[in-house]
Chains A and B, each alone.
Chain A
């Protein structure tokens, strides 16, 4: 089991000029570690992180897109795994931080723990699928995960964290959307 922030610190060293889609707890942790113009945080409805990521990836096939989704969020949009696999964007990397918890909604448990998201992604048709629960192995393989032909899926098995401060007005600031668009098209 890994700490989410530790995973993201490693990811931040490899993210380069990829768009990074995140929401809720993943977004809070990520922007603390890597505030950048190419962070896409305005998801609008829980679960749609992966769908926004697909749209970004289709719109700019010359750019990498990384989605950082929570397990509760993916459960609200499991069908997106099939949609993404069918659309087959080579530039999309889909990471799910699995802690079996709806952290942003009172740390309630998800309906059933230990779901094999990587297995579901694999059977849905993703080009590659991984499970990481050891930080050293994640650090060794993250560059390959990010660089290979997608769509790529990886589950990051992480510990629940203490309650975070969710500054939604800042996360969803319209100026951040404008900044993202300018950076995405530069």
Chain B
């Protein structure tokens, strides 16, 4: 698990959606499966929707993404699930069954709505955010905090590992990315 303190505590820190998108492309992500999340809406989802290199599937409820990504993986198509932490919580049974028990390569990018990026998620002012990393730890799911541009370097190796070893990963977006 990788949710190090080093990415918090820098008040001038920034996170750019363009950097994240470049990392997703470098990771071979072809499909983005999404439910809008205000944390990532303008900085990630909007530019992804305009980018012809991605195939965006807008779903009605987050757990659909787990099934769709699983189906795509059988044809070795890579997908990123872009959701809010509330959607992750709502999808835990699908994550349990498909990602963990079936050992499927499910890559989730999760916006931490209400989080203070100057704090760690476990010390977040938002209860729902504080419980995310402990839940992922209990489920044995690797997770990485992406709060500043320096953290973007974690994305490609994390996705590569998920597909190489057929396992889930959660990339936790700790602040609203700027669009460019």
Q: Which A residues have a C-beta under 8 Å from some C-beta of B?
A: 40, 42-45, 47-60, 77, 79-80, 82-83, 86-87, 172, 174, 177, 180-181, 184-185
B-chain residues with CB within 8 Å of residue A185 when the two chains form the complex: 74-76
B-chain residues with CB within 8 Å of residue A54 when the two chains form the complex: 57, 64, 67-68, 71
What is the predominant secondary structure among interface residues of chain B facing chain A? helix
Give the complex CA separation of A57 and B57 in angstroms. Answer: 13
Which single residue of chain B is at the shortest CB-CB distance from A182?
B74
Count of chain A to chain B residue pairs whose CB atoms are closer than 8 Å in the complex: 110
List the 7 closest A-B pairs by CB distance, nearest first. Answer: A55-B71, A79-B60, A51-B67, A59-B75, A44-B97, A44-B98, A48-B67
Min CB distance, B180 to chain A, in Å? 28
Q: B71 contacts A44, CB within 8 Å?
A: no
Q: B60 contacts A83, CB within 8 Å?
A: yes
- Give which listed residue, B58, B75, B97, contacts A56 with CB less than 8 A: B75
Q: A45 contacts B94, CB within 8 Å?
A: yes
**B61 interface hit (Cβ, 8 Å):** yes
B-chain residues with CB within 8 Å of residue A49 when the two chains form the complex: 67
Min CB distance, A53 to chain B, in Å? 7
- Give which listed residue, B31, B61, B70, B75, contacts A52 with CB less than 8 A: B70
Name, among A48, A50, A52, A55, the residue most crowded by chain B CB atoms within 10 Å (CB to CB). A55
Q: A48 contacts B58, CB within 8 Å?
A: no
Q: B61 contacts A79, CB within 8 Å?
A: yes
Name, among B67, B73, B103, the residue most crowded by chain A CB atoms within 10 Å (CB to CB). B67
- Give which listed residue, B61, B66, B74, B94, contacts A180 with CB less than 8 A: B74
Q: Which B residues have a C-beta under 8 Å from some C-beta of A?
A: 31, 55, 57-61, 63-77, 79, 93-94, 96-98, 101-103
Q: B75 contacts A184, CB within 8 Å?
A: yes
| Additional 19 contacts, C-beta under 8 A, given A51-B67, A52-B71, A60-B75 | A45-B96, A48-B98, A49-B67, A51-B59, A54-B57, A54-B64, A55-B68, A55-B71, A55-B73, A59-B74, A59-B75, A77-B61, A77-B64, A80-B64, A83-B57, A83-B60, A174-B102, A184-B74, A184-B75
A-chain residues with CB within 8 Å of residue B93 when the two chains form the complex: 45
Q: B64 contacts A44, CB within 8 Å?
A: no
Q: A59 contacts B72, CB within 8 Å?
A: yes
Give the complex CA separation of A171 and B94 in angstroms. Answer: 17
Q: A51 contacts B71, CB within 8 Å?
A: yes
Using A44-B98, A45-B93, A48-B98 as known contacts, say yes or no to A83 and B71 having CB atoms under 8 A apart: no
B-chain residues with CB within 8 Å of residue A174 when the two chains form the complex: 102-103
B-chain residues with CB within 8 Å of residue A83 when the two chains form the complex: 57-60, 64
Give the complex CA separation of A60 and B63 in angstroms. Answer: 21
- Selected A-B contacts with CB under 8 Å, 12 pairs: A40-B71, A44-B102, A45-B66, A48-B94, A49-B67, A51-B59, A51-B66, A55-B74, A59-B71, A80-B59, A86-B58, A177-B102
B-chain residues with CB within 8 Å of residue A82 when the two chains form the complex: 60
- Give which listed residue, A40, A58, A79, A86, contacts B72 with CB less than 8 A: A58
Give the complex CA separation of A40 and B97 in angstroms. Answer: 15
